[in-house]
Amino acid sequence: MSRNILELRELSVDYHMPSGDIHAVRKASLNVSEGQIFGIIGESGSGKSTLGYAIPRLLPPYAIVRGGEIIIDGRDIVTLPESQLNEIRGKVLTYVPQGAQNALNPVFTVEHQIADPIREHTHMSWKEAVRRARESLESVGVRRNRANQYPHQFSGGMKQRALIALALALNSKLVILDEPTTALDVLVQRQVFDLVKEIRSKFGTSFLLISHDLAIVSTVCDMIAIMYAGEIVEMAPTREIFGNPRHPYTRALISSLPKLNFADQDLEQIRGSPPNLSRLPTGCAFHPRCKYAVEKCTQVSPLLEDLDPNHAVACHRVKELEKWKRQ
């Protein structure tokens, strides 16, 4: 079995605000193994981007890690000093932020922005760092003669490729992609995901892919975790998520996806809105929107439990729903 490059153990993150703490991530646990593409899916405000920022410890000053462990390549980095964190960022872990359009500095060429961290982490000469930057850009489909251009001369898809090239140039073992296809058309989205799969195949790189679009990530991810109100409510292999969704929220998400063979059929909607993370409902956070909720759901928060070796669900009524499904 492949070893885990990332392990989260009951990670909790709050935002300390004047109006009260916002519980953005609540006791999240997951493993990403070597060469795996792992998807984190959830609505806006579900805590998925906060989870992505927490892993390399890039949270804003008002964010607080309340508890848990972040184990990267065998080391718990929650309490590591900044000097030691810099040895992990880039070399072991690279974070590609949401919106490649804004992630590159407009006053430096693309090759300069890739060569600079290469030189910092490897102590190469500038000439050698630029050469590696160009090789890395070529490996993601950006021609060498475009390397010395500025970000405004790149399309959205090329900017996304440039950020992925940075991760490859540093030989990162894990790349976190936060909404990598934001503002990209569907053809470029497909190109980006094909590139992710090609890099995984060629270099054995692991990816943590954060998105709100369940349909998009289904084409590339091996494993998917569904987040709701800061918690992971279901986690399973991609085929299992789509073939046998067990949490009511996951079922509702899949039912709301357009189906080509039922073009004239109305899409199902998830009633209500996600809860305020500073004033969470008691019990299961999804119960105000769940048509299967009973009194226990309003009082006791369910734990994420393994139903099968590779399928975990946080729902009090999952066994009853399974029984009804079989009947």
Domain parsing of the chain, residue ranges: 4-107+150-326
DSSP 78-132: TT--HHHHHHHBTTTEEEE-S-HHHHS-TTS-HHHHHHHHHHHHH---HHHHHHH
Residues near 45 by beta carbon (within 8 Å), at least 6 away in sequence: 274, 277
The residue type found at 307 is L
Tokens of 273: 């809105």
DSSP-assigned beta bridge partners for residue 133: none
| Cβ-contact 116, 195 below 8 angstroms | no
Residues of the chain with pLDDT under 50: 327
- Span 4-107+150-326 CATH architecture: 3-Layer(aba) Sandwich (3.40)
Collapsing DSSP to helix, strand or coil, 217 comes out as: helix
Residue with tokens 């009853």, as numbered in its chain: 320
pLDDT in tens, 108-164: 999 999 999 888 888 889 999 999 999 989 888 889 899 999 999 998 888 888 888
pLDDT in tens, 255-295: 877 766 655 666 677 888 889 998 999 999 999 999 899 99
Through-space distance between the first and last CA atoms of the chain, rounded to whole angstroms: 37
Residue with tokens 């009947």, as numbered in its chain: 327
Rounded distance between C-alpha atoms, residue 168 and residue 67, angstroms: 31
